Copies of this chain bind each other. A is one copy, B any other.
Amino acid sequence: MKSNEDTGFGSNPDNYGGRFINRDGTYNVKKEGLPFFQRFSLYHTMLNMPTWKFYGTLFAFYLTVNFIFACIYFFIGPSEFQGILAVGTRGTFKEMFFFSTETFTTVGYGRVNPLGDSANSVAAIESMLGFLSFAIATGILYGRFSRPKAFLLFSRQALVSPYHGGKALMFRFAAYKDTHTLTNMEIKVNAAMVVADNGKTVFKFYDLELERSHVESLPMNWTVVHPLNADSPIFEYTAEDMKKSDLEIYVSVRAFDDVYSNIVQQRTSYTYSEILFDRKFIQMYRESNDGKTTIVELDKLHEHRASKV
């Protein structure tokens, strides 16, 4: 029962709220006391956004910038431009707006073009801004594409299953991208639980020993097995015991990714309510019909069946 003092979490349960690690692997921690802009990172925020939100943000930015410049050009007035054909306030504004889009994207058809000093200066600044925005968009898009990620899918539950005559805690995961190859994979599983220590209630952290904590590559799925023997801090725990000790199993996977030639990491955690008893995972790969390849069935990752010891 090796207690682990180096987790980076403290032992005082009074100051902690909720779980330590969320299912998606982020820490359940909020930061305060520094201005938002010091804590905020534009690049990371744009990197972590879902795709639809990311492109939506870009489009909204494009509309906003052009709206602002359209207002400026409108304020400068149509007399500083050549080639405006529309008439009326509304028409002039629209010409200004589309002149702005032409300038920002550097298309520059040129029917409408700036004559006066103010119009010319603002257009010179806008085209430079377009230039830079493009550079920034390129960088962020490349960052999104090329960001090393593990792309692992974890089973929704951890199970207490029969194992070599006794029991073991098991969960499994697989790389779900077709083209990814993870090698040299290591896994570390810790348990965080509230225990009595010299009369005080404190959080303790334990390394959970695994049947196997390293594989050379992950072509298929991997079932991680923690034998529930006398060395385990949760030996003979019932679901009730787990709930009482506020048990959280957290998992950290580290591997080398061939595609990025980089180390990738992924974390997740299971709290007591995500642990099921007396169930067993069903097999999730089979030989192909032509016998020439092996098929991993990702949809079976979360499937298990009753299996009493």
Contacts and interface: CB of A to CB of B under 8 A. Distances in A.
B33 A297 contact: yes
9 contacts: A7-B215, A15-B294, A27-B181, A29-B294, A98-B121, A105-B106, A142-B143, A143-B145, A262-B262
Interface in A105-163: 105-111, 113-115, 117, 120-121, 123-124, 127-128, 130-132, 134-143, 145-148, 153
Nearest to A28: B293
Given A15-B287, A131-B105, A138-B139, A32 B296 contact: yes
B258 A265 contact: yes
A236 to B, nearest CB: 27
Given A101-B127, A105-B131, A138-B135, A215 B6 contact: yes
Determine how many copies of this chain the complex contains. Answer: 4
A90 B27 CA distance: 61
Interface stretch (A216-224, A237-245, A270-278): A216-224
Contact of A15 (B45, B286, B301): B286
A181 to B, nearest CB: 7
A136 B258 CA distance: 22
Contacts of A261: 147-148, 260, 262-265
Interface of A: 4-10, 14-18, 20, 26-34, 38-41, 43-45, 47-48, 58-59, 62, 66, 82-83, 85, 94, 98, 101-103, 105-111, 113-115, 117, 120-121, 123-124, 127-128, 130-132, 134-143, 145-148, 153, 176-181, 183, 185, 188, 190, 212, 214-220, 222, 252, 256, 258-265, 283, 285-288, 290-301
Contacts of A143: 142, 145-146
Contacts of A7: 215-217
Nearest to A101: B124
Q: Is the interface of A mostly helix, strand, loop or mixed?
A: mixed
Interface centre among A101, A107, A259 (most CB of B within 10 A): A107
A74 to B, nearest CB: 16
Given A134-B135, A142-B138, A214 B6 contact: yes
Contacts of A142: 135, 138-139, 142-143
A44 B261 CA distance: 13
Given A34-B176, A146-B143, A216 B8 contact: yes
Given A15-B283, A294-B17, A26 B299 contact: no
Given A10-B220, A137-B131, A44 B295 contact: no
A51 B207 CA distance: 43
